[in-house]
Amino acid sequence: MTERRWGLDKVTEADILAGGFSTPWDAPFIPPFPFTFRNAEVLTVFWRTDPKAMQFLAPPPVEATGDVVCVHIYKMNDTSWIGPYHEANVMFGAKLPNGRSGAYSPYLFLASDGGVAHGREVHGQPKKLANPFLEFRGDLMVGGVERNGIDVITVTTPYKQQPVDPALMKAHFDYGTNLNLKAVNHIDGTPAIRQITSRKLTDVKVHECWRGPATVELRPNAQAPVFRLPVVEPLEAFYWRADFTLVTGEIIHDYLAKNA
């Protein structure tokens, strides 16, 4: 987006056509890439579920892989543009027939209106406003998501018992590549965008990483139906603290393109 002295220069057509443009033009809501997350605290918890439940949530041609799901509960302490907030990302391993793979997100929840808007408008992430939380209660870490007065996700792990190599967090599937279904309509209701998008975080610097046993509890909520990925077996949890940068991603499947 063209650099400007906000409030002093009138918006131009070139500004509107530039990548990263957001409304209202004199107080843009959507952060342009790149923007950075500093000192983020994350509780990542894995559990085994029913593979049929994963496949039910995977949009074709995305195929769910394995039988493991994770949730990342983020305490974003210092984020460019957006400020401090909490977020939760539910993911499972996935692949496409064209050979691309990563982790598909059927549900995301966060307590930032700007974060919700950015995720939905740019990445196509299915973000909804909720109240994720990450707390230290004595010798226990407790994370979760509250929406509509219901704790739809509650996860726990002991407080910092086993330091580990952060690479171990990707033993179940590589969640570093996030896949999303982006769906945007024209004003007349016809499809404008129908894509599978892909993005990775860059400049990831992990300051600490701890592993421990996990508990996972899911409660039904029709507006946050994470219960569709039932807990067959809780596996393990990781608490980690890191810096990272969100950059542009790519379109890896376009439903509206010819010969898609």
- Strands of 159-190 (E only): list them: 162-163, 177-185
Distance from chain centroid for Cα 256: 24
Number of neighbours of residue 177 by Cβ within 10 angstroms: 18
Q: Residue 178: enclosing H or E segment and its boundaries?
A: strand 177-185
Nearest to 40 by CA among 102, 97, 86: 86
Q: What is the pTM of this model?
A: 0.94
Query: So what's the pLDDT on residue 133?
Result: 98
- The whole-number pLDDT of residue 220 equals 98
159 close to 146: Cβ distance less than 8 angstroms: no
Does the pLDDT of residue 260 top 80, yes or no?
Answer: no
Q: Cα 25 to the chain's mean position, in Å?
A: 26
pLDDT range class, residue 1, cuts 50, 70, 90: very low
Contacts of 95 (CB under 8 A, 6+ apart): 62, 63, 65, 101, 102
Q: What pLDDT, in 10s, does the model give residues 130-141?
A: 999 999 999 999
Write the burial class of residue 40 (CB in 10 Å: 0-12 exposed, 13-18 middle, 19+ buried): buried
pLDDT in tens, 161-203: 999 999 999 999 999 999 999 999 999 999 999 999 999 999 9
* Mean pLDDT for the stretch of residues 47-52: 98
What's the rounded Cα separation, in Å, for the pair 211 and 205? 18
Amino acid found at 138: G
Q: Which residues are catalytic?
A: 127
Separation between Cα atoms, residue 82 and residue 65, nearest integer Å? 33
Is the Cβ–Cβ distance between 109 and 130 less than 8 Å? yes
- What is the reported pLDDT for 92? 98
- Calculate mean pLDDT across residues 106-111: 98
What H or E segment, with its residue span, contains residue 51? Answer: helix 51-57
Q: Which domains does the chain have, with CATH numbers?
A: 30-179+202-247 (2.40.400.10)
| Model pLDDT for residues 11-24, shown as the tens digit of each residue | 999 989 999 889 99
* Model pLDDT for residues 207-233, shown as the tens digit of each residue: 999 999 999 999 999 999 999 999 999
Q: Which of 24, 154, 177 is nearest to 102 (CA)?
A: 177
Q: What is the mean pLDDT of residues 76-98?
A: 97
Characterize 93-112 residue by residue with b for buried, 16 or more Cβ atoms within 10 angstroms of its Cβ, and e for exposed: bbbbeeebbbbbbbbbbbbb
Is residue 105 a contact partner of residue 126, using CB atoms and an 8 Å limit?
yes
Q: Where are the beta strands (DSSP E) in 3-84?
A: 35-48, 63-76, 78-79
Using a 10 angstrom Cβ sphere, with 0-12 exposed, 13-18 middle and 19 or more buried, the burial of residue 229 is buried
Amino acid 10: pLDDT: 87
Number of neighbours of residue 72 by Cβ within 10 angstroms: 23
The more confident residue out of 1 and 162 is 162
Confidence at residue 4, expressed as pLDDT on a 0 to 100 scale = 55
- The H or E element containing residue 15 is helix 13-17
Which H/E stretch holds residue 17? helix 13-17
Q: How far apart are CA 32 and CA 40, in angstroms?
A: 20
